[in-house]
Amino acid sequence: MTFYSYDYLKGGQVNWAIIKIVLVSVLALAFLVFIIKYSRNKWDLKYRDLSIILGTLLLLAAAIQYSDYTNLRTASVQSGQLSVVIEKSAKKLDISPHSIAINDTSRNNDMLIKTPKGYYSLVFNSSGSEFLLVKVDLYQPDITVIQ
C-alpha cells in the first residue's frame, strides 16, 4: 500500500511544469528564428519547411502543456483539500502534520492515514466538510511512503 507524505502533497509536481514551459519557450524561439530567416531568404525553402515543422511541434507542445496545466490545477486543488485534512487530523491527534502520510491523492471515504500513533481511517460526513478518525489495525501491512 502506498502512502503519500504531507510534504509530497504540499510540494506537488512543479518541477515537470517548469521543464515543459522551458521546452515550449525554446520551440517558440526556434520557430521565430526560422520565420525570420525565411522572410529574409524567400527562395530558400528549407527555412519554410523547418518553420512549418516547428510550428506544428509548437502547437502540439502548447496543447499538451494546456492539458497538463488543467490536470495540475485539479490535482493542486485536491492535494490542498488533503493538506487541510492532514492538518486537522494532526491537530486532533496532537502531532506534527509532517509525520502523517495518507494513502490516496484524492479525497474519498476509504482513506487511511499513517501516524506515529498508528493507522486511522477517515470517515467523511455526507457533505465532506467534517470527518471522523477511527483507529484501525492493518493485517500484515506492506507500506511504502512517498516523500
Say what the pLDDT of residue 75 is.
65
Say what the pLDDT of residue 32 is.
92
Specify whether the backbone of 42 is left (phi greater than 0), alpha (psi in -120 to 50) or beta.
alpha
Which of 66, 65, 76, 82 shows the shortest CA–CA distance to 23? 65
pTM: 0.59
Model confidence pLDDT, tens digit, residues 80-120: 677 788 888 888 889 988 888 888 777 777 788 889 988 99
Order of strands across the sheet that contains 118-124: 131-136, 118-124, 111-115, 101-102, 2-5, 144-146
Which grid coordinates are listed for 114? 499513517
Say what the pLDDT of residue 2 is.
84
Average pLDDT by stretches of 10, the chain with 147 residues: 81 68 87 89 84 90 82 67 82 89 78 89 82 86 79
